[in-house]
Amino acid sequence: MTSSEKSSMQPSGPWGALVRASEGLLTLERYAVALLITLLSCAILLNVATRWLGAPLYWIDEFAVYCMVWLTFVGASAMTRLRLDFAVTMMTERLRPRAAARCRILATIVVVLFSISLAVMCWVWLDPIGIAQAGFDAKAFAGKAFNFVYTERTQTLNWPTWILYMILPIFAVTMTVHGLANLVEDLGWVEKVKRDMLINAEEAVN
């Protein structure tokens, strides 16, 4: 956690572990975002340099795209915990504090339900039990389940696409943890983690 966003308290009690887990994930996500931004920047600069030299790398564009995709999902998960995701406050800013708080709780519940639904979808799609029963043989699994997610490869990098798709279940899990942590804070079961931030979205329904 950076010095500009230090927690002013350590949540305790039965729900404290959930909030601490969310804060731990947030720390990892910050490192991941920094790494992905570095990789993306290097890929773009390398692409420009090699094209200028007349020897472009055919795989660099695809690599940059996948860095951007992972960066988007990791960043979206972190923004959920930081309550910096998009919110429309035209209605809630006109409500009384108690009604606005209830709307905030409702919005957080919707986020949790969405992330859980995404996790279920990823479980059905990737079917870890099915691939395990097939002895982790991608071709045998595809022939039996007509699910070709483990046989596909990227066009230029020739990487297994399922590795790149793993950002979806990872995002679903981390967003669920962050959403639940936000929910228990909104319900008042634990004290909210205080942050020194330039942007304050506490008044928004997000």
Summarize pLDDT for 160-194 with one digit per residue, the tens.
999 999 999 999 999 999 999 999 999 989 988 88
Residue 198 clears pLDDT 50, i.e. is over it: no
pLDDT at 172: 98
**Token pair of 103 as six digits:** 């709307």
| Backbone dihedral angles phi then psi of residue 55, each to the nearest 5 degrees | -135, 65
| Cα atoms in the 13 Å half-sphere on the side-chain side of 49 | 6
Contact in structure between 119 and 172 (CB atoms under 8 Å): yes
Q: Which residues have a Cβ under 8 Å from the Cβ of 153 and sit 6 or more positions away?
A: 159, 160, 161
Contact in structure between 176 and 112 (CB atoms under 8 Å): yes
Instruction: Provide mean pLDDT across the span 134-150.
Output: 95
Q: pLDDT band at 100, cuts 50/70/90? A: confident
Instruction: Name which of 202, 183, 204, 185 is nearest 193 in CA terms.
Output: 185
Q: pLDDT band at 52, cuts 50/70/90? A: very high
Residue 10 clears pLDDT 60, i.e. is over it: no
pLDDT at 8: 42
Residue with tokens 């995404």: 118
Contact in structure between 165 and 44 (CB atoms under 8 Å): no
**Token pair of 94 as six digits:** 């006109």
